[in-house]
Structure 1
Amino acid sequence: MAVKREEIEIEGIPIILERKNIKNLYLRIKPDGTVKVSSPMRLSDDAINEFVLSRMDWIKDTRAKNLENPPKPKVKYKDGETHYIWGKPYTLQLISNENAKKAFYAADDNIIYLPVPKRSNIKQREKLLFELYREEMKKNLSYFLDKCTYFVGKEPKEVKIRNMKNWGNCRKDKRVTLNLKLAKKPPVCTEYVLIHELCHLIEFNHGPRFKALMDNFCPNWREIKKLLNEENNFE
């Protein structure tokens, strides 16, 4: 498809204009705030300006939101990246060590060591780091369970650690599952999630009675929930 590309400016906003063999006008704003307009090849400049101006309020609002919350760089699990263990930042360092089969970290040096083959891919490196999180959760599970069951007065039948989309869940058979990525977050986040799931052993839904239980056993749970979901700090 033939494309004529030029840069224009309307009300002080730079716009990338691409004229193509298409029938309609299209406008989109990229995550970095770039405004892009695709136009039929022979459409007049006046028609394009009118189209953009008719959407100017939306353009300005969307650009402002995007620029306030720039897109996060894609995690590649490479040297120098910052990753978190129990809410504390660590620098990732890839190493070639045949004797080390698992990721490990040095708390004093704030370094996570990832033993990987020379041609490792992102999935392989992610798996090693996630296994470190799994081990951290398992190693500290008894501490969290003792503390949270004391508060709630209920014990689960079983607790599993796995990688999943939500932070935790509780089945009606009293089996609780916790997300291994909780090991990234400050410990209070794991306590909140575990108390949340233990409260489901008393009240299975999220109605007023459930919220009252949370208020009783974890009075600042709303603030902790916000901390748990802060992607910028702990992802």
Structure 2
Amino acid sequence: MTKETLTIENITFTLERKNIKRMYLRVLPPKGEVKVSAPNFLSDEEIFNFVISKKDWILKKQKYIHENGIKAPLKYDNGEKHYLWGRPYTLQLIKNDTIKNVVIDEDKSMLYLPIPKRSTIEKRKNILDEFYRLQMQTAIPTTLDKCAKIVGKTPSEVKIRKMKNWGNCRYHDKRITLNLNLAKKDPECLEYVMIHELCHLIEFNHGKKFKKLMDKFCPNWKEIKKRLNE
């Protein structure tokens, strides 16, 4: 495999020649870097023509990445920043059979992640997700007790899972589900989401009555919501 940096019509891209059959082009966050993978047998002219044909798409994709602050996918590797209850920690992988659980060093802001000898990104992600799940399971009882007293409603059950929304409430069976990723946010965000879902036990939709409930039980909910979604 060969690798070089080229520029054509103000588009700078990294070219990797590989033993593949087709050409591929990617625009990667966070800087909008352009990468092209091409078969070894293709000429420079064919590659340049391909990049030029994709110029409008490349510029549009780069603009979207920059304007929306799109971040690069996590690789769960040494030096990455990961968050726990709103605080950033530097990830350090540990290949040690005697350490089975994630270890947090508050003084050094380090998060030590024990991994198996043959670890993939997916395996490392799953280990950290399980740690976040345990953190949520520990935090929920106290948070629920506090918020239930504020709202005056108690759910039948609180579940945790990965989801697009921060939380949801099934009105018919009074079950609340919270997003696992809330463990990465400030604890105040967990309280806000809990109050939000408990209010749905009173008012199911997001109309004026619901907003009045939120104003009453969580006066700064709009500010917390904005911070949560940043």
Q: In structure 2, what is the equivalent of residue 163 of structure 1? A: 162
- Cα deviation, residue 207, structure 1: 1.3
Question: For residues 31-60 of structure 1, what are the alpha-carbon distances to aligned partners after superposition, in whole Å with 9 as ceiling and x for unaligned?
Answer: 6287xxxxxx9xxxxxx9xxx9xx9xxx99
Alignment of 1:99-110 (within 5 A): 99-110=98-109
Could you tell me whether the CA contact under 8 Å between 1:81 and 1:91 is conserved in 2? yes
Q: Distance in 2 between matches of 1:191 and 1:226?
A: 14
3-state SS in 2 of match to 1:97? coil
Question: For residues 43-89 of structure 1, what are the alpha-carbon distances to aligned partners after superposition, in whole Å with 9 as ceiling and x for unaligned?
Answer: xxxxx9xxx9xx9xxx9998666444454122000111110000001
Please state if 1:205 is matched with 2:205: yes
Name structure 1 gaps, 5 residues minimum. Answer: 1-5, 17-28, 35-40, 42-47, 231-235
| CA RMSD between the two structures | 2.9
Could you tell me whether the CA contact under 8 Å between 1:104 and 1:132 is conserved in 2? no
3-state SS in 2 of match to 1:202? coil
Q: TM-score, normalised by structure 2?
A: 0.73
Please state if 1:133 is matched with 2:132: yes
Between 102-111 and 186-195, the greater mean CA deviation after superposition? 102-111
Q: Distance in 2 between matches of 1:15 and 1:112?
A: 39
Could you tell me whether the CA contact under 8 Å between 1:152 and 1:195 is conserved in 2? yes
3-state SS in 2 of match to 1:108? coil
3-state SS in 2 of match to 1:176? strand
Could you tell me whether the CA contact under 8 Å between 2:158 and 2:177 is conserved in 1? yes
Name structure 2 gaps, 5 residues minimum. Answer: 1-5, 13-25, 35-44, 46-51
Could you tell me whether the CA contact under 8 Å between 1:84 and 1:184 is conserved in 2? yes
3-state SS in 2 of match to 1:114? strand
CA distance 1:94–1:156, shift in 2 (3 Å): same
Question: For residues 106-151 of structure 1, what are the alpha-carbon distances to aligned partners after superposition, in whole Å with 9 as ceiling and x for unaligned?
Answer: 2222111111112200111011111111111111112211221121
Q: Distance in 1 between matches of 2:186 and 2:177?
A: 18
CA distance 1:148–1:177, shift in 2 (3 Å): same
**Structure 1 segments (4+ residues) deviating >6 Å:** 59-62
3-state SS in 2 of match to 1:154? coil
Q: Distance in 2 between matches of 1:121 and 1:7?
A: 34
Q: Distance in 1 between matches of 2:156 and 2:88?
A: 34
Count of aligned pairs between the two proteins: 192
Q: In structure 2, what is the equivalent of residue 78 of structure 1? A: 77
Q: In structure 2, what is the equivalent of residue 96 of structure 1? A: 95
Q: In structure 2, what is the equivalent of residue 217 of structure 1? A: 217
Q: TM-score, normalised by structure 1?
A: 0.71
Question: For residues 156-193 of structure 1, what are the alpha-carbon distances to aligned partners after superposition, in whole Å with 9 as ceiling and x for unaligned?
Answer: 11111222222111112111111121010001110111
